[in-house]
């Protein structure tokens, strides 16, 4: 029983990170029909930017800020202007392939310019355990959970409570009408790219101390975030959050109760079942069929 | 114009065919291996091109079918069966699994389909890795024999290259015939507009499943050749990235163009080799090249050619019109 409690806490913590990554993924999809196959690499890169800054002698907090700013410039602004904008009118598939190539490019660049070895990464949360209901729970899990919840809460407040958020939603749901009623659609799309870049940098900051910084660590994470987004609902931010938490918990439970060898299969089978019975995702809206 | 272009095309085709037969004769071992790999990957990409380029069904599982073919071939040939028998089994197996994988395609489309097939690809990898009683697990299967064709041993790289090339030729002819048959036309109708295709009396259910099954079967053929080519297989080459690579080959070459997979596989297999002199930078340059190409021409390399030809045709047509018009005016 104590085992289950620990698994749930760890699962919630990983799930919260998946949710952060998945939310950014659905934001990009909603505003610009971008399926970003490099999303996992987007999470991997900021940690290396921060590490590079630290190696150059910057203090930890400064490296974090620099890393987040660089991430927003490279993975937000540059990604949108150099890759998405020129390809947007060509449809979903070529752009998806281009992001696959981008994933290869980022991975290889990190391997070449930084290191092929895994590097450790300092944690923003103190290590150690605290006791909750008689269980020892690592502070790191709790810290990750708290930061991720704050980020998601901040984002949903922005989207649902502010006029900026309403404009973003309008731009995502119907760009033409939004444009007519005076929403600066282009600026809103750019904003979602910046938010995505911020979220992946945050996820990077939270997850890298646990799983180390490695050039190949984006693959697993990207895949988990995709599954989370699809399971929860491709076109819903709250769907992506629910999906992320669900996949995180499921993954941790599967590792303990299903064979470790087929651990990775459990979320996959779950994904297939969800898609077959509810293609729009558990919380998603069905997309209209176009003739 | 067209009466002139056709012999030109045939001559060009013959030169290319003669080239791929004659030129590799003095290649070294490694060069022949890379070329054989090109032939094998072209077969797999042609299968995916049928599914994606002609029938419009996105699949991220072609690498898994190459794996299924490779394991079928490796298991059978190491147990003493001849390669042709193994290829037949690989085709049947990949066809059957592809047919089943087609069912989700009946329910979900586009990116959802991409993710179902992505999940399948990961599941297949797990099976290859974990069912060690059958697949040898992470240790894989070694000493996969190369076949005797008409009594000639193909152990050396050059004869086996010709086995791959010959198989590519057979597959090419079969696919050429297929896309010109009513089936191929039905596939294209399915891609352009599924609802309209249905209203024209095309059984979209059956053709969707067919598109998946035939495309997958070609992946199986490629796998069945891949195993004796490398003579050792383990699960790693058949993970998701192979499916993504194959998808990239089809799109970069030009999805829906017959010669797209040939070019796409050439770029994916040969370009990294040509860029190898740049040492650690070669995959980076490859990635940049692919992105650049897609920005410039999202329909792939053959898309550029197609656009150029279409432009020339319209120019020729308007020139003809201008001539006809001036003639009319002089008559008046």
Rounded distance, CA A83 to CA A86, Å?
A: 6
Q: Are B286 and B271 in contact (CB under 8 A)?
A: yes
Among A56-70, A256-270, B316-330, which range has the highest average pLDDT?
A56-70
Transcribe chain A into DSSP letters.
Answer: -HHHHHHHHHHHHHHHHHHHHHHHHHHHHHHH----TTHHHHHHHHHHHHHHHHHTT--HHHHHHHHHHHHIIIIIIIIIIIIIHHHGGG-HHHHHHHHHHHHHHHHHHHHHHT-SS-B----SS--SEEEETTEEEEHHHHHHHHHHHHHHHHHHHHHHHSHHHHHHHHHHH-HHHHHHTT--HHHHHHHHHHHHHHHHHHHHHHHHHHH-B-TTTHHHHHHHHHHHHHHH-TT-HHHHHHHHHHHHHHHHHHHHHS-STTTTHHHHHHHHHHHHH-TT-SSPPPPPP--
User: How far is A134 from B111, CA to CA, in rounded Å?
Assistant: 45
Regarding predicted confidence, which is higher, A203 or B105?
A203
**pLDDT value for A291:** 36
Q: How far is A77 from chain B (nearest CA, A)?
A: 17
Residue A215: is its pLDDT beyond 80?
yes
Name the residue among B123, B286, B298 with its Cβ closest to that of A87: B298
**What is the enclosing helix (H) or strand (E) of B203?**
none
The pLDDT score that the predictor gives to residue A283 is 79
With CA atoms as reference, the chain A residue closest to B137 would be: A261
Decide if B122 and A265 are in contact by the 8 Å CB cutoff: yes
Average pLDDT over residues A113-133: 81
The pLDDT value given to residue B325: 79
CB contact under 8 A, B280 and A262: no
Nearest-CA distance from B153 to chain A in Å? 39
H or E stretch including B152? strand B152-153
Residues in chain B: 332
- Which band of pLDDT confidence, cut at 50, 70 and 90, is reported for residue A289? very low
pLDDT at A280 over 90: no
Report residue A53's pLDDT band, with 50, 70 and 90 as the boundaries: very high
Among residues A181, A242, A286, A266, the alpha carbon closest in space to that of A18 is found at A242
Mutation choice for A interface testing from B264, B283, B299, B303 by most A CBs within 10 A: B283
Interface residue B5 vs chain A (CB under 8 A): no
Decide the pairing of beta strands B141-142 and B148-149: unpaired
Phi, psi of B163 (to 5 degrees): -60, -45
- How many A-B residue pairs are in contact by the CB < 8 A criterion? 114
Inspect the interface and report whether the beta carbons of B58 and A109 lie closer than 8 Å: no
pLDDT recorded at residue B3? 56
**Subunit contact B247:A97, Cβ cutoff 8 A:** yes
Residue A2 predicted with pLDDT over 60:
no
Tokens 């995916």 sit at which residue?
Answer: B48
Which residues on B lie below 8 Å from A102 (Cβ)? 287, 291
Say which of B108, B283, B299 has its CB closest to residue A108.
B283
Write down the pLDDT at residue B331.
64
Please identify which residue in the block is written with the tokens 């490629």. Answer: B222
Which chain B residues are within 8 Å of A265, Cβ to Cβ? 122-123, 126
Asked if A272 and B120 come within 8 Å (Cβ–Cβ), the reply is yes
Whether residue B111 and residue A234 make contact (CB cut-off 8 A), yes or no, is yes
Residues in chain B closer than 8 A to A262 (CB atoms): 126, 130
Backbone angles phi, psi at A129, to 5 degrees: -120, 150
Instruction: Decide: helix, strand or coil at residue B266.
Output: helix
Given a contact cutoff of 8 angstroms between Cβ atoms, the answer to whether B48 and B244 are in contact is no
Q: What is the mean pLDDT of chain A?
A: 87
C-alpha–C-alpha distance, residues A93 and A35, integer Å = 8
10-residue mean pLDDT profile of chain B (332 residues): values are 71 88 85 94 96 89 96 94 94 96 81 84 91 88 86 84 94 94 88 84 87 95 95 92 91 91 92 79 85 88 87 86 77 62
A276 against A247, higher pLDDT: A247
| Average pLDDT rounded to a whole number, residues A189-198 | 94
- Give the mean pLDDT of A183-194: 92
The tokens for B332 are: 């008046």
In the prediction, which pLDDT does B214 show? 95
Chain A residues touching residue B108 (CB < 8 angstroms): 275-276, 279
pLDDT at A1: 46
**Would the CB atoms of A83 and B295 count as touching at under 8 Å?**
yes
Residues of A with CB under 8 A from a CB of B: 35, 37, 83, 86-87, 90-98, 100-102, 104-105, 108-109, 111-112, 219, 223, 226-227, 230, 234, 261-262, 264-265, 268-269, 271-272, 275-276, 279, 291
C-beta atoms of B284 and A105 within 8 A: yes
CB contact (8 A) between residue B244 and residue A269 = no
């Amino acid at each position: 029983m104590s085992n289950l409690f620990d698994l749930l806490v760890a699962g919630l913590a990983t799930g919260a990170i998946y949710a952060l990554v998945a939310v950014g993924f659905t934001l990009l999809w909603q505003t610009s029909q971008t399926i970003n196959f490099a999303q996992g690499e987007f999470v991997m890169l900021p940690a290396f930017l921060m590490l590079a800054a630290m190696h150059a002698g910057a203090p930890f907090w400064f490296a974090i800020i620099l890393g987040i700013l660089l991430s927003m410039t490279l993975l937000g602004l540059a990604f949108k202007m150099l890759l998405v904008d020129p390809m947007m009118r060509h449809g979903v598939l070529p752009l998806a392939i281009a992001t696959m190539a981008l994933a290869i490019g980022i991975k290889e660049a990190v391997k070449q310019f930084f290191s092929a070895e895994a590097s450790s990464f300092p944690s923003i949360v103190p290590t150690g355990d605290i006791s909750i209901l008689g269980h020892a729970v690592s502070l790191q899990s709790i810290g990750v959970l708290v930061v991720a919840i704050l980020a998601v809460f901040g984002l949903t407040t922005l989207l649902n409570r502010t006029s900026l958020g309403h404009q973003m939603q309008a731009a995502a749901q119907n760009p033409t009408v939004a444009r007519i009623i005076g929403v600066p659609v282009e600026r809103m799309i750019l904003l979602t790219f910046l938010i995505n870049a911020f979220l992946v940098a945050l996820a990077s900051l939270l997850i890298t101390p646990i799983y180390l910084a490695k050039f190949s660590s984006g693959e697993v994470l990207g895949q988990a975030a995709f599954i989370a987004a699809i399971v929860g609902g491709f076109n819903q931010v709250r769907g992506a959050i629910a999906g992320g938490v669900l996949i995180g918990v499921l993954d941790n439970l599967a590792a303990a109760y299903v064979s470790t060898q087929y651990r990775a299969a459990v979320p996959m089978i779950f994904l297939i079942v969800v898609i077959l019975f509810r293609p729009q995702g558990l919380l998603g809206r069905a997309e209209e069929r176009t003739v | 114009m067209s009466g002139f272009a056709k012999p030109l095309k045939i001559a060009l085709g013959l030169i290319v065919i003669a080239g791929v037969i004659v030129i590799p004769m003095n290649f070294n071992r490694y060069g022949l291996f890379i070329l054989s790999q090109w032939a094998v990957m072209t077969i797999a990409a042609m299968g995916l091109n049928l599914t994606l380029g002609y029938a419009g069904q996105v699949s991220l599982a072609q690498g898994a079918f190459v794996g299924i073919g490779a394991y079928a071939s490796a298991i059978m040939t190491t147990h003493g069966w001849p390669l042709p028998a193994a290829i037949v089994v690989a085709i049947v197996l990949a066809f059957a699994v592809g047919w089943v994988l087609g069912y989700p395609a009946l329910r979900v489309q586009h990116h959802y389909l991409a993710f179902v097939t992505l999940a399948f690809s990961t599941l297949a990898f797990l099976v290859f890795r974990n069912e060690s009683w059958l697949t040898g697990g992470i240790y894989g299967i070694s000493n996969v024999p190369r076949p005797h064709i008409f009594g000639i041993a193909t152990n050396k790289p050059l004869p086996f290259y010709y086995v791959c090339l010959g198989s590519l030729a057979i597959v090419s002819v079969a696919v050429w015939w297929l896309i010109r048959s009513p089936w191929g036309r039905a596939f294209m109708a399915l891609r352009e507009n599924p609802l309209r295709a249905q209203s024209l009396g095309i059984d979209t259910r059956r053709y969707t499943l067919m598109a998946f099954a035939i495309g997958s079967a070609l992946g199986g053929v490629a796998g069945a050749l891949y195993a004796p080519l490398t003579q050792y297989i383990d699960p790693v080459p058949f993970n998701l990235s192979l499916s993504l690579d194959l998808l990239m080959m089809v799109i970069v070459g030009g999805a829906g163009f017959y010669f797209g997979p040939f070019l796409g596989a050439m770029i994916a297999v040969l370009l990294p080799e040509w860029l190898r002199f740049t040492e650690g930078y070669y995959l980076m340059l490859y990635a940049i090249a692919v992105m650049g190409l897609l920005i410039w021409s999202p329909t792939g390399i053959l898309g550029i050619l197609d656009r150029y030809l279409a432009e020339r045709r319209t120019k020729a047509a308007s020139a003809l019109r201008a001539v006809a018009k001036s003639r009319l005016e002089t008559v008046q």
